[in-house]
Chains A and B, each alone.
Chain A
Amino acid sequence: MDAQKVDMYLISNNKFFTPYQLGVLRDYLIKLDDSKSFALHSAELKDPTMMLIVSIIAGSLGIDRFLIGDTGMGIGKLLTCGGLGIWWLVDLFLIMDRTKEVNFNRTMALIV
């Protein structure tokens, strides 16, 4: 892909990834064939800030974990009143990084 296109993509999507992941993605996207760029744009990325809001409001029902695809953990939170409130609290600090990790894995799965 064109370096300018890659940079545009990374600038417009930087909130979905950590700075380290952006660096790794850039290396891969530069080498990416143009025919795969459509798949890249079709990747369903979750907004970490939105996930944090969901986690605050409905985290003890595990909805935050369901939304990012961690179904097992979602059920676990749902069945334990958000891990007796502790898991809910801990997830407030973890959910944004986990969302970025899921976004990165989804994007990598499409381009590698």
Chain B
Amino acid sequence: MRTELEREYVDYVSVRLPHLHRLAYLLCSDAHQADDIVQAALTSLYIGWKRAAGADNLDAYVNRIVVRRYLDERRRRWAKVLLGDAVPEQPSNDEHGLEARDELVTALKALPKGQRAVLVLRFLGDMSVEDTADVLGCSVGNVKSQSSRGLAALRSVLEAGRIASVEGDSRWTSES
């Protein structure tokens, strides 16, 4: 039944790919890094598909792989920086022309990494406080406080962005 397994994998991944890409992108704010994370995570999912397909909550399981990959990636990049290979953490993505249009992305990027990760995992990844804590390797209390601080910060950044966009280029006027 291995071919059937592969078909299942293809079907599952085809449907979930946009969501996982979004998750990775919002975690790292970099289109190429997001692709690398998704590629690595889903390749490892392929190898372990038979086991994974039997998971109680497959979506949560796969979200978790993506997040772990993101954390690995960060560690790897950090190591690179230490070695003197200057890899910018948040390279400009102006060539995509997409994120500039979304004030939420801009606001997210302005958040400390911990807060950003917590918000993305909880509200895009639909992970519980406990799961978020588990995958990020911190306490439940930490997730809760990061979450509320992140939300507050996001709110204030969005308010400020709103004012700036109204005063600035009218093309970027927000919808709401």
Q: Do A and B form a real pair?
A: no
Residues of B at the A interface (CB closer than 8 Å) are none
Residues of A at the B interface (CB closer than 8 Å) are none
